[in-house]
Amino acid sequence: MARAATTTDAFNAVAELRRRQILDLLAQGERPVGDFVDLLGLAQPQVSKHLRVLREVDLVRVREVGRQRVYRLNPGPLKPLYEWLATYERRWNERFDSMDDVLDDLKAKETD
Amino acid sequence: MARAATTTDAFNAVAELRRRQILDLLAQGERPVGDFVDLLGLAQPQVSKHLRVLREVDLVRVREVGRQRVYRLNPGPLKPLYEWLATYERRWNERFDSMDDVLDDLKAKETD
DNA sequence: TTGACGCATTCCCTTATCGGCATATGATTG
DNA sequence: CAATCATATGCCGATAAGGGAATGCGTCAA
């Protein structure tokens, strides 16, 4: 078995930086494919491919306008990620828990 | 170029379900490798490999105790993910924005 | 109609994943 | 020391991602 497909779920789809960038642009509003090509400096085919992945996990929706395809964000599938992370959010402030962490940090700096 | 390495960042490391399960167990407290083998029903080598990935992105820290390696959670690297998602969190409740979404939903149900 | 435009799809190539299995390594016990 | 336990590593096979380049396809303008 190889790595899980990028279209398995939002976790995998969003692991790719380019797709996150696409979503970030969509967060500002609808956009046709060409916009991503221009704004992200990617080749058109790659943009279409990334959009396809995002479509398959339902993170984006398309609307046809003439010869353009206008994409827009559908954030719903991100909710599970956010909720999973929320469990951990409380923790990265509790640095006081164990002495080990402090020791580890010192070690880490030595190894630099 | 192939897909970004799983050790590129927490986004990629956490895309794998097994690794999320490991982190979930660690959220309850420190644990030696054998625990994951038993609790997740995975082969020992695969567990070690997943732990290696988590170590490389610094999501877990190890401590040697006799012949065991006790792993513990280091949630820090998850912070960027949480913050990225926070931008979208506000949105999945605003379903009132456009009529298109409603239409899309209807279409989606037809296609079932 | 024809041609240009906006996108999607396909093929090729390189690379890395993940699982299974065997084995190496370090610590512990008898 | 020898045997065993707890883990880590190495190797193999199968799978698919992602970029590049070429091409297919529906739409619109002249």
- What are B34-88's pLDDT values in tens digits? 999 999 999 999 999 999 999 999 999 999 999 999 999 999 999 999 999 999 9
Whether the per-residue pLDDT at B27 is higher than 60: the answer is yes
Q: Which of B20, B24, B92 sits opposite A75 (nearest CB)?
A: B92
Token pair of B2, please? 């192939």
Whether B50 CB is under 7 Å from strand C:
yes
Whole-angstrom CA distances from B1 to A45, A47, B98 are: 15, 15, 39
Q: What's residue A111's pLDDT?
A: 39
CB of B12 closer than 8 Å to CB of B53: no
CB distance under 7 Å to strand D: residues: A 1-3, 5-7, 15-16, 18, 42-43, 45-46, 49-50, 53, 66-67; B 1-4, 32-34, 37, 44-45, 47-49, 51-52, 62, 67-70
Task: Say which residue, B94 or B83, is predicted with more confidence.
Answer: B83
Nearest-5° angle of CA B17, CA B82, CA A5?
A: 30
Question: What tokens does B4 get?
Answer: 């970004």
Query: Which residues face B31 on adjacent strands?
Result: B71
- Closest CB from B17, B75, B100 relative to A91: B75
Q: Name the protein residue, with chain letter, whose CA is nearest the C1' of D23.
A: A45
- Is residue B99 left, alpha or beta, with left meaning phi > 0 and alpha meaning psi from -120 to 50? alpha
Token pair listed for A82: 């956010």
3-state secondary structure of B96: coil
Contact residues on chain A for B18, CB-CB shorter than 8 A: none
Dihedral in degrees, nearest 10, Cα atoms B8, B13, B16, B22: 160
Residue % of chain A over a pLDDT of 90: 77
Residue A105 has pLDDT above 70, yes or no: no
The pLDDT of residue A95 is: 58
Instruction: Answer yes or no: are the C-beta atoms of B50 and B33 closer than 8 Å.
Output: no
pLDDT digits (tens, 9 = 90+) for A19-69: 999 999 999 999 999 999 999 999 999 999 999 999 999 999 999 999 999
- CA atoms within 13 A of residue B52's CA, in its CB half-sphere: 7
Choose the closest CB to B14 out of A11, A27, A91: A11
